Amino acid sequence: MAQKTLLKGRVLSFVGSPFEGEPGDAVRVDEAVLLSGGMIAGTGSVRDLAKAHPEAEIVDHRDRLILAGFVDAHVHYPQTAMIASWGKRLIDWLSTYTFPEEMKFASPDYAAEIAARYLDLTTAHGTTTMCSYCTIHPESVEAFFAEAQARGQRVVAGKTCMDRNAPEGLRDTARTAYDQSKTLLQKWHGVDRISYAITPRFSPTSTLEQLEAMGALWAEHPDCLMQTHLSEQTDEIEWVKSLFPSARDYLDTYESFGLLGGRGLYGHAIHLEPRERDRLREVDAALIHCPTSNTFIGSGLFDMAGLMAAGHRIGLATDTGGGSSFSMLRTMAAAYEIGQLRGVPLHPAQLLWLATVGSARALRMDDLIGNIAPGMEADLVVLDLASTPAIAQRSARAEDLWEAVFPTIMMGDDRAVVEVWIGGRRALG
């Protein structure tokens, strides 16, 4: 019989969207969650679950918060070792810091070392699924998938394709991008908990031929996700205009090559034109908010409230290492701060939803991960809401759940993460 585990604590799950109606009404809190065979078998009272499953091992987390593992919808795992590099905006930041680091992933050993380091760090921060860019090297994809597979993790990733405006050694071609992506996709997509994402980096680093080849590959494999960057900085948008003079706007550089669709993930999406917003909404594409990156690289303020109200599908992400943290707690805090700058404070329930259900919806995996419900995969994080003296003295005064949780969202880090479960196995704690 499968090993069963009963986790006691404050088990938080979503029964609706906290962006519709009163945010707190979208949340349910149970006393316990039962894990069995890598899946969530049930939630409810300790008495009922323990009575129905007397063989279950009980882990008592008292008043700790138990929620779905965080889902990071846009990261660059190869940028792990150059996170927090000083003083540049996007295009200079890419050429000064990013491209030299990504060059190193020609070495399978280096790729394996960083993949393991990245997944150790993200587990320590309570992130159980991520959608990552790799580098142009197929070895970088192999290393990431092999490491994730060994850990039983649900991950999405793809070979980052670039055939212009990148240094020698970091360029492929339209043909090799297509062939290598296809080979990796055929080898890995759907194996264990691994999914492949077709990954043109962004239109400035792809020729028209390469964008066309990526579009053709996506059309052949429409069940794959496609990830790229869109309208992150104003200088970048000007550059795109000069490279694609006949395009209607930035999105059109994807749309006209078959790279706009419902399984498309568009990172940043800050400076959107009305036509772009309309088309993204029409096809129900996912926009990925990367708040620590947007402030760190100086990109701008994502219009969360306006886009949510218009019905966009939105995920939350660190964008490591343009983002300045591996922590989805810190990322929620930055999303809150950007909301404040735009005059719309996000409720803690909305922040937690974005980091779990919202990102899982963006990845079209919300039937599998991102929430606690029977039949979903058992990826969980257990948070101590008094992990530092500063947080503890504030949460001690809390008069309700949200006042207890918000100090950890704003001030918490990996010290708040006391236990992590991945696929029903204890990965931390």
Query: What residues make contact with ligand GUN under the rule CB under 6 A?
Result: 76, 90, 94, 98, 201-202, 229, 232, 293, 297, 319, 322
Q: Which CB, 67 or 90, lies closer to ligand GUN? A: 90
Q: Which CB, 98 or 153, lies closer to ligand GUN? A: 98
CA–chain centroid gap for 260, Å, is 19
Q: Which CB, 69 or 267, lies closer to Zn ion? A: 267
Tokens of 256: 């006209």
* CB of 145 closer than 8 Å to CB of 186: no
Q: Which CB, 78 or 423, lies closer to ligand GUN? A: 78
Separation of alpha carbons 373 and 14, rounded Å:
9
Q: Which CB, 94 or 111, lies closer to ligand GUN? A: 94
For residues 345-383, one letter each, b for 16 or more C-beta atoms within 10 angstroms of the residue's C-beta and e for the rest, the string is: ebbbbbbbbbbbbbbbbbbbbbebbbbbbeebbbbbbbb
Q: How far is the CB of 357 from ligand GUN (least distance, A)?
A: 24
Q: Which stretch binds Zn ion (CB under 5 A): 37-45, 265-273, 325-333, 356-364?
A: 265-273
Q: Which listed option, ligand GUN, Zn ion, none, makes contact with residue 357 (CB within 5 to 8 Å by class)?
A: none
Radius of gyration of the chain (CA): 21
Site of tokens 């043109």: 200
Q: How far is the CB of 267 from Zn ion (least distance, A)?
A: 5
Of 64, 56, 5, 54, the residue nearest 31 (C-alpha): 64
* CB of 166 closer than 8 Å to CB of 200: no
Contact track, Zn ion, 300-319, x by CB under 5 A: -------------------x
Q: How far is the CB of 330 from Zn ion (least distance, A)?
A: 17
Q: Which CB, 181 or 318, lies closer to Zn ion? A: 318
* CB of 239 closer than 8 Å to CB of 205: no
Q: How far is the CB of 62 from ligand GUN (least distance, A)?
A: 40
Q: How far is the CB of 266 from Zn ion (least distance, A)?
A: 11
Residue type, 121: L
Of residues 342 through 381, those in contact with Zn ion by CB under 5 A are none
Q: Which spans of this chain sit near Zn ion (rule: CB under 5 A)? A: 267, 319
